[in-house]
Copies of this chain bind each other. A is one copy, B any other.
């Protein structure tokens, strides 16, 4: 099988970005005609989705839904006077994780819940004739729920998404 890593900064809190072309380029590089692409996140507040991505107003509706229905932590640095979405109490603090050895003082429970509720740690997409087998309106995208612009106490978010390609010998269409 094959692996290609995408590395990028997430400086915006919540956004959706189409990566269909990148995955198709990876498939091309591997000369895979049939098989599966598995796109996986290395993070717990950034997930993968297969959805309609090409219509920007729909992405705006997705983001608005995520912020409206899964309330932000009252303590978050994002919540200031004039914050337009609902807030509530949570318990989680990043720095309470035993693996945490970095500066990370924000309160991102809501980002974790949005990831669980609206995205996947990985998605599996068939490859047919050397390209992702997607419907007319389907694209594959990252859904970031916890980008950081580096302006507060926390550093800019460094993200890694992996593209795994598993070729199959043949395809028989029944």
Residues of A within 8 A of B (CB): 1-4, 26, 29-30, 34-36, 38, 40-44, 49-52, 54-55, 57-58, 60-62, 64-65, 69-70, 90-93, 96-99, 109, 112-113, 115-126, 128, 133-138, 160, 162, 164, 166, 168, 170-174
- In the complex, A44→B117 CA distance in Å? 17
Q: A122–B121 contact, CB under 8 A?
A: no
Q: Which of B50, B61, B93 contacts A90 (CB 8 A)?
A: B61
Q: B122–A122 contact, CB under 8 A?
A: no
- In the complex, A173→B4 CA distance in Å? 6
For A126, the chain B residues whose CB sits under 8 A away are: 3, 38, 40, 162, 164
Q: B4–A43 contact, CB under 8 A?
A: no
Take A57-B93, A96-B57 as given contacts and tell me if A171 and B134 are in contact as well, using a CB distance cutoff of 8 Å.
no
Q: Is the interface of A mostly helix, strand, loop or mixed?
A: mixed
Query: How far does the Cβ of A61 sit from chain B's closest Cβ, in whole Å?
Result: 4
- In the complex, A126→B162 CA distance in Å? 10
Pick the 3 closest A-B CB pairs, nearest first. A42-B135, A50-B121, A57-B91
Take A61-B109, A171-B3, A173-B3 as given contacts and tell me if A138 and B42 are in contact as well, using a CB distance cutoff of 8 Å.
yes
Known: A26-B174, A54-B97, A61-B92. 5 other contacts (CB 8 A): A2-B171, A36-B38, A43-B137, A61-B112, A64-B90
- 16 A-B pairs (CB sep. < 8 Å): A1-B168, A26-B174, A30-B172, A42-B134, A42-B136, A43-B135, A49-B121, A51-B112, A52-B112, A61-B90, A61-B92, A61-B109, A61-B112, A65-B113, A99-B137, A122-B123
